[in-house]
Every structure is written in C-alpha cells, then in structure tokens.
Structure 1
Amino acid sequence: MKLVMNWKEWTNLDAIGLSELIRQKQITSQEVAQQVNLAIDAINPEINGIIEVFDDVINDPTKDGTNLDGIFAGVPFLMKDLGPTVKGRLQEMGSLLMRGNRPTTDSFLTKRIRQAGLNIIGRTTTPEFGLCSSAENPAVYVTRNPWNVDYTTCGSSAGTAAAVAAGIIPISHGTDGGGSIRIPAGVNGNIGLKPSRGVFSVAPYSSDLMGAVSAQGCLSRTIRDTAAFVDSCRGGAPGEFMPYWLPSQPYSELIRRDPGRLRIAVSHEWGDYRANPHIVAELKRAASFLETLGHHVEWIIPDIDFRAAYDAQTNCYIMNFSQVISGLLEQKGLERPPADLIEPMCIRVWEEGRDAPYRERAKMQKAFNDISRSLGSFFEDWDIILTPTIALPTPKIGTTEYLTISDNTSVSDWFENLWRIFSYTSIANLGGLPGISLPMAELENGLPLGIQALTRQGDDGLLLQLGAQIERALNGKWNSGRRPTVHVSSI
C-alpha cells in the first residue's frame, strides 16, 4: 500500500471532502480505504480503539454492497461493536461472553449506511454491552484518549471517538443511550449528535419505549459530515411502532444559512448535580460567544423534577439491561451470567432488574411522560438549552468507580457516581430530544471539553444549523485549532 496523499492533506479533509475527490476521480475509494488502513496500523497501537479491520473491503470497497454513487462515494466507515449488525462480521459487544458472535444479516441502519456510500471497514471498541463510561477492562481491551493516553475516552462510543479524534477516519458510528455519543465526543474533541427519537431506526430490534431510549448516530469533525449522514441514513423500517420525523429540507442545505436569533437557556445546576468551577467558567465563555453571534442568552434552569428524571433513567437502564442479558443467556443455555465472562457490575445490574415487577416499569414510564411534557413546554419559550457535556474532568485510566469492573456492591451507588459526572446528557434520551456536543471548550489539563446544546424533539436541524454557524465563526477551528498528541499528522 502507498499513501494517496500526505497526512497534512489527509487531516484537512472531512468525509465529504474525500467523497468529492473520489467523484472527481482524483483518488479512488480503494486508495482512501488503504490510507485509513495505514493510519490504523500507525496510530491504533497507542489508543487501542479499533478491534478489527475487514481487509476484504479495504481491497474491494464494493464487496459488501457499498453504493459508490451515494453521497459518501465509498469513504471508509467504522462501526461501533454494539447496535446495528453487519452481516458475516463479528459483533462481540465488548464482552468475553460474546466472543465469536457473528450476525447473519445486516440490520436496517447498516443497509442505509451502505446505501449512503459508506464503506464499513472495521469495528471499534465499546465497554461491555455499552453499560459504563469507558472501554476499559484489561481482560478485553483498554482504549485511551489520543489527547493524553493517561486518560479515558469515556464511552460508550469509545473507539469511535478515539479514531476520529486521532485523524484516522473522518466519520464513524456511535450509539447513545444516555450520552454515549456526546460524552466521548466532548472529551475527545469531536462533534457528536444524538438525534431525536424517530430519526434512525434500530430495526429489527427494540420496538418499545425502553429500547427507543438509545439512539444511533455518528461522530465526526465537521457539521456537514454529520448533516449528510443524517440526511442519508434516517428513516423508519417497515413496521415501526412510532412515526419518524421528516424535515422540510435536507440538513445539508439548511446548514448553509445561519439560524435566526435564538433564545438560549444556559444552566449547569441540575438537581443534586452541578459542574466544577472551571467547567462553569468554560460554559460562561461559550454562552458569551453565542451572544456575540446575536443570540439571546440567559441563565435559566429548566423547571423539571430532576431527581425523578435520574431515578427513572436509572430504573430504565437496570430493567432494559437485565432483559437484554437474560435474552443472551437464554440463547446460550445459561441460567445466570458466568462470573469469568461477564463483568461484576453487569452481573449486579442483571440481578437487580431481572425480576422487576411491571409496576416499576409503569412508574418509570409515567416519569418519562411527565418530564417529556415538561421539556416540551419549556421549549415553547426557549429554543436551546446549553450545558457542559460533562460536570467533572475526564477520568484517568484506571478510575474503576465508573467502570463495570468496579467492586462497588451497590448498583444505585454506582449509578449515582455516573450521574455526578455525566449529569447533563441523559435527559435527551428520556425525552427523545436531540442533543449535540460541540468541541469549543477546554479542561484545565488541556483535554477537550464539549459544550452541549439541546432542543425540542424533531428539531435536529436547528442544532446542526447552530453548529454550522459556530463552525463558520471559528473558521472551522474547533478545539481552538489544536490537535491531539496522538494524531496522524505526527506520522
């Protein structure tokens, strides 16, 4: 293999930029795939974000049905090892229990991704079943933050965040059940959109409210890449249990113009949780920047029952997760999770939720309804809620209190630890709202800090429009133009 361009040129191109060169026949999709493979060989040993590369589609991007006439024209794409299935490829979900699991069909979203012209060339790391905040179990793998390898990428879209941040690939798949796109995007300096409920299908799975809490999406380095991904891959499969949003125009067109003057509510004191002083100062700086763009900015805390929201989200995770694990155990003829194959906190969560009575689910659903309607009312007066993506600094590798290898014997106390740091993202999953993390702030130690914007359900385009306005104002220099220590530009 040889380079089709130097690494500086590579770094300056997003996925749409690469696809334009392919369509102009300046480069081929095979050459682009080979360049990504060279980047993986050089960079992945330091960050350990990519589990496997599919050599056959490096050599022949059309082998699995990638549509080279799609908007992305064969640009390589990595799939998180959780969520949509890829026919004939391993999907091991970050778990020793699932070693060797090989789905036999493409899920609906996988087909849409291929039709959009994205060439699925490999899979990225995730914590076991996506439950915790970091892909960090030495028995499986440890994924590191390319800005400083002593720190975690957070999660659960861990490997995707690391690969995009390190410049290996411009766009990659993620899932978000409580912040798992936005949090790793925020701490790795990427753009991460969690779309509204009713944008991306998870068919043929999860046709219920608890399943719809988790959303599919991507992490990228430019707003236009994310907009093109949503435009090309959105939509419901036959038999969906809810309607799917259809915008009046493609987001790729919408983002070319600025939004009108927005009413932006800024907050960080959410119930029992609040950000540390430095993060609050960065939030204030971001809010002031939005004022210079002409928006009305005011410090307003949404009038919702935050404690009920966190309790409902915790119960949803416990009940949904336990049923998923029970289903996998049944497939394998097992009565309980093997202690040598499933991580300790995952077993405790399964034990906590496996026999939950229906009244607990009904209570959870009532809280979802009440809070969702309160948020809907809030967005009649405000267009955006602005928060940090996280409330506390990025943890160092080995901070086990946030991991499913934790020895904490209390499931509720373990979730409380998560809410304390990841305070602001899960409300979007509960309410079906879109949320985006934008790389426009910085922690005291120099690692990136994402700023999150939330808006009303179905108005994903407004978040992308605001993101594009900010991107133009920054001349495209997210993260103040800085790059991670581990990056393809250093090859």
Structure 2
Amino acid sequence: MRLDEYAAHDGTGLARLLAKGEVTPRQLGRCVEEAVAAVNPALNAVIELYPDALEGLPETASAGPFGGIPTLTKDFPIEAGRPAEFGSRLAEGFRAGHDAVYWARLRAGGLVNAGRTTSSEFGVPAATESPLYGATRNPWNPERGVAGSSGGAAAAVASGIVPFAQGSDGGGSIRNPAAFCGLIGLKPSRGRVTGSPNGNAPLLGLATAFMLTRSVRDTAALLDLCHGPDAGDGYEIAPPAGSYLYAITRAPKGLRIALCTRSWSGVEIDPEVAAATRSAAERLASSGHHIEEASPDFDYPAFLHAQKVIWAADAAASMPAMAKRMGRTPEAALGASVYALYRRGLAVSGAQLIAALSAYDRVTRQIGRFLARYDLLLTPTSAILPEPIGTFDPNRAGIDADGVFDDLAPKETFTALFNATGQPAISLPLGRSRDGLPIGVQLVARFGREDLLLAAARQIEEEMESAPGIWGQGRPAVHVGNF
C-alpha cells in the first residue's frame, strides 16, 4: 500500500480493507513507519515507535472492529510498561505501571499502540513545546504551533501518520489541537470514559481521555468501544440509549442552538475565528435548525480563580511523588510554567480547595440551566489562529502561575468551562483563515448527550465529503501523501 493510498482512508475505511483481506496489519505498520520517516523530521510529533508492537502485527486481521490498526498514544501513562514521560525532565524514564481501562477496551477492539506522541509538560501549557522534546509543528504551516496538550497526536493525524490518535483533555487539550490542525476532537461527558484504575476522572474530575480523528464515524465507533464505567467507579453516567454509530445515521431536525461569540474571558477573538463561527451557524440554520444568539451567564473571574486553585493543588500533590520515584527535584527538573503552578499549589489550603470546588458546583448548575433551554451551544474552539512557535513559550524565565493562565486564555476561553461542568463538547474543522490555517468551531450538548453532538456533526460532515481532504480542507503542506 502506497502512503497516499493509506492516508486517504480513515480508520473505518482501513478496517474494511483489513476485513476483506486487501491489506494486512503488518502492511499498515510499515505504512506508519514510512510515514513517520517522511514527515516527523519536519513536525516533531512522534517521540518513538515501538519495534515490538510493529513486529508483532499479524498478517491477517485481528479480532475487533478495527482489526489490528496501529495507532499512537500520548506521552502519558496509558499502556502498562510503555514510557510515559509527560514531556518533562522530571519524569524522564518513567513507565506506566498498568493499562488504562478505556485503553484496554480499545485494544480489545483491534487497536495496536505503535508509539507515543509529544505533549506539553504534564499537560499544563496549551503549547506543545516541552522541555524534554522541544516544539511540535503544525502540518499546515510548520512555523505555527499545534496548541496542547495533545499536540503531537493532532499533528500525527493531520499529517496522515495514523487515522486517529489518543489524547486527553483537562481544559481543551483535545479540542484545541484538533482546531489548530483541522481535525475532529471530542471531549466526552465526565464519566463517559472511565479514568480507572485510578479515579473516575483525573484532575479532580476535570480531565478525560479520548481520541482525535478525521471522521465522525471513527469518533462514534471509538466511543462505542471504550465508553462506560469500571467496577468500583464512584459514580456512573447513564449509558446511551443505543450505539453512537447508530446515532449518527439519524439526522437531527429543528434543533435549538445558542450561538455565542462573546469572549467570556475578555480575550479578543480573532475576526476570522468569529466569522467562521457565524458561518457555521448559517450552515446549521440552512439545515433547518434554529439559531439564537445567547450566552450563559456566569462569573468568569470566580471560575478562573477556582481553576487556578484546582490545577495548582493537583500539581502540588503529584509532583513530589514523581520526583521521589525518579530521584529528582521539582526545582531542578520542571520547566518554568509547571514549576510556577507547582509552587502556587504548595500554598493552597484545604479550605481554598473546597471553596474552589464549590465555585465549580455553582457554575455547573448555571451552565446546566442554560443548556436546558437549548439543544446545543455553538462557540469558537480557540479565540485565536495557530500562533507562531514560541509565542507562548512555556519555559520562559520569570513566568508565574497567573502568567500560565494568561497564556492559556486565548485557547481555553471557550473550552475549559466544560471540563469544569462536565458537558460533552466537540471541535469541528469548519473554517480556514486567509493564510490557509484551520479554524475549529465548538459544539456543546447537555450532559450525557454525545449522541446528539455526534449526529449534528455528522449532518454537517455529509455536506462536505465530496471535496478532498478532511471536511473538504485539502491536504496540509506536510503530509504523507506528498511522499
């Protein structure tokens, strides 16, 4: 299989070729190796491939709907025994001690973990420019960034290395890289994808893992495979009424959609981003949906203060254990942004943490009541276009914890709220800048309604399938199909 043939298929398409015997998992593994050799020197998206995983790929399709497709996972603990260095010198050499339960489900569905992708340090900065591996570059313009923290995953999928890749999202870390690289990025509802064998959801419930994809059908099929609680979870989200693959076959009608292009943080929204969001609203209106300009009413400064407290407390709780295990000190091994957050966390009291969680409870109720009046909320994903590498250098001297969040604001103004409140949110590739850079638009649904979110996304996707590339975008400048 030639690289251009390989990269023309999403995961579902490759699975069908596997099922018919037209290609083998071993051949797909060779495509991944060739693809990494072709484009990774320009992108720095893939840290390494696993020779044992690639050599172990069979000559016939394996069990499960994805039949042995190799994919890539983020530089976090996901699969037992694999490196998980968090993009940090503090964790250099660390290996995952166990499988994530959701990953074991995906593996049983036929996915093979063939290597790992770059991340921002400990997933904190929204720029994948880590002290350990340097900057990851955007396939559409290598002078631009890929956001974070799942930036390597986004660059790998957009450039055609793999049809989809694993990521995680604690404030926008799936959605913003998807927006910057022209992909589909779903953050499921809290609890939809279990965080077991640790907590239900990492980062005190703010974070969840899932995949960045090129197609809605892949997103639906992957969620069908990995959703659901694990024994011992402290709470269980209501299961979907049916499969997500079935849900996307039923086009929604007459949805009530709130359109918001008002910046909650006060960060200026790039005019091209605002225009793309309004264009998406017009597209939805042309499909028979009802658009109303509206914004949830909540106290953004109080929300942001609570976010700072929770993230800082989490850093203060986790860094000493990693430092002790690896025989290093946070002072010597952490990059400037993460060290600043860790230092802030050392001063957080128990009372402050409880107050922050209470603030999140209030905003969760406010957002829930707002969404009770609408089926979907439409916003920009990021307030800005992909920025030049180094614009938000997370390792610059003198940055403090407030500066960390100032750097995050242009990308997380519209995304981090839904990590706090738990609703599902998806970034869709619905715009291009004058310079050809992707623009993502975010849809948010009520808690637990991934089915509606995916059905609406599929309805849009159907209108764009005839044009080349992902959602008619064409091919990035750095793409395996060029080799």
Q: Is TM-score (shorter-chain normalized) higher than 0.5?
A: yes
Structure 1 residue 302 corresponds to structure 2 residue 296: yes
Could you tell me how far 1:208 is from its partner in structure 2? 6.8
Could you tell me how far 1:139 is from its partner in structure 2? 5.0
The equivalences for 1:353-372 within 5 A come to: 353-372=345-364
Match of 1:347 among 327, 335, 339: 339
Match of 1:136 among 124, 129, 145: 129
The equivalences for 1:318-467 within 5 A come to: 318-332=312-326, 336-339=329-332, 341-399=333-391, 402-467=392-457
Gaps of 5+ in 1: none
SS of the residue corresponding to residue 330 of structure 2 reads coil
Structure 1 residue 56 corresponds to structure 2 residue 46: no
Structure 1 residue 287 corresponds to structure 2 residue 286: no
More displaced stretch, 431-440 vs 22-31: 22-31
RMSD, matched Cα: 1.9
User: 1:193–1:434: 8 Å Cα contact kept in structure 2?
Assistant: yes
The letter of the residue matching 2:384 is L
Could you tell me how far 1:27 is from its partner in structure 2? 1.2
User: 1:408–1:414: 8 Å Cα contact kept in structure 2?
Assistant: no
The letter of the residue matching 2:163 is P
SS of the residue corresponding to residue 456 of structure 2 reads helix
Residue 278 of structure 1 corresponds to 272
User: 2:94–2:326: 8 Å Cα contact kept in structure 1?
Assistant: no
Could you tell me how far 1:393 is from its partner in structure 2? 2.1
Distance 1:210 1:101, change over 3 A: closer
CA–CA separation in structure 2 for the residues paired with 1:343 and 1:393: 25
Match of 1:225 among 196, 208, 218: 218
CA–CA separation in structure 1 for the residues paired with 2:30 and 2:202: 41
More displaced stretch, 103-112 vs 426-435: 103-112
Could you tell me how far 1:388 is from its partner in structure 2? 0.8
Could you tell me how far 1:140 is from its partner in structure 2? 2.5
Distance 1:28 1:62, change over 3 A: closer
CA–CA separation in structure 2 for the residues paired with 1:111 and 1:255: 25
CA–CA separation in structure 2 for the residues paired with 1:50 and 1:333: 27
CA–CA separation in structure 1 for the residues paired with 2:323 and 2:310: 20
The letter of the residue matching 1:28 is T
Residue 26 of structure 1 corresponds to 22
Residue 482 of structure 2 corresponds to 490
Residue 175 of structure 1 corresponds to 168
CA–CA separation in structure 2 for the residues paired with 1:280 and 1:52: 38
The letter of the residue matching 2:128 is A
Match of 1:76 among 70, 77, 90: 70
Could you tell me how far 1:116 is from its partner in structure 2? 1.2
CA–CA separation in structure 2 for the residues paired with 1:209 and 1:369: 17
User: 1:144–1:397: 8 Å Cα contact kept in structure 2?
Assistant: yes
The count of corresponding residues between Structure 1 and Structure 2 is 480
The letter of the residue matching 1:292 is S
SS of the residue corresponding to residue 78 of structure 1 reads strand
SS of the residue corresponding to residue 106 of structure 1 reads coil
Could you tell me the percent identity over the aligned residues?
Answer: 35
Residue-by-residue CA offset, 1:283-305 (whole Å, 9 max, x unaligned): 11111111111110111111222
Residue 41 of structure 2 corresponds to 45
The letter of the residue matching 2:5 is E
Could you tell me how far 1:170 is from its partner in structure 2? 0.4
SS of the residue corresponding to residue 98 of structure 1 reads coil
Could you tell me how far 1:256 is from its partner in structure 2? 1.0
Could you tell me how far 1:33 is from its partner in structure 2? 1.4
SS of the residue corresponding to residue 258 of structure 1 reads coil
The equivalences for 1:91-240 within 5 A come to: 91-137=84-130, 140-207=133-200, 210-240=203-233
More displaced stretch, 225-234 vs 318-327: 318-327
The letter of the residue matching 1:240 is D
CA–CA separation in structure 2 for the residues paired with 1:482 and 1:373: 41
Distance 1:444 1:359, change over 3 A: farther
TM-score, with length taken from structure 2: 0.95
User: 1:67–1:115: 8 Å Cα contact kept in structure 2?
Assistant: no
SS of the residue corresponding to residue 123 of structure 1 reads strand
Residue-by-residue CA offset, 1:410-437 (whole Å, 9 max, x unaligned): 3113312321343100011000111100
CA–CA separation in structure 2 for the residues paired with 1:442 and 1:274: 18
CA–CA separation in structure 1 for the residues paired with 2:69 and 2:288: 37
More displaced stretch, 292-301 vs 235-244: 235-244
CA–CA separation in structure 2 for the residues paired with 1:78 and 1:383: 34
TM-score, with length taken from structure 1: 0.94
Could you tell me how far 1:309 is from its partner in structure 2? 1.8
Could you tell me how far 1:138 is from its partner in structure 2? 6.0
CA–CA separation in structure 1 for the residues paired with 2:9 and 2:135: 29
CA–CA separation in structure 1 for the residues paired with 2:144 and 2:292: 34
User: 2:309–2:348: 8 Å Cα contact kept in structure 1?
Assistant: no
User: 1:67–1:114: 8 Å Cα contact kept in structure 2?
Assistant: no
The letter of the residue matching 1:112 is R
Gaps of 5+ in 2: none
User: 2:7–2:160: 8 Å Cα contact kept in structure 1?
Assistant: yes
Residue-by-residue CA offset, 1:348-379 (whole Å, 9 max, x unaligned): 11111023111111111111111111111111
Could you tell me how far 1:58 is from its partner in structure 2? 1.2
CA–CA separation in structure 1 for the residues paired with 2:130 and 2:257: 40
CA–CA separation in structure 2 for the residues paired with 1:154 and 1:369: 28
User: 1:79–1:172: 8 Å Cα contact kept in structure 2?
Assistant: yes
The letter of the residue matching 2:259 is V
CA–CA separation in structure 2 for the residues paired with 1:417 and 1:99: 25
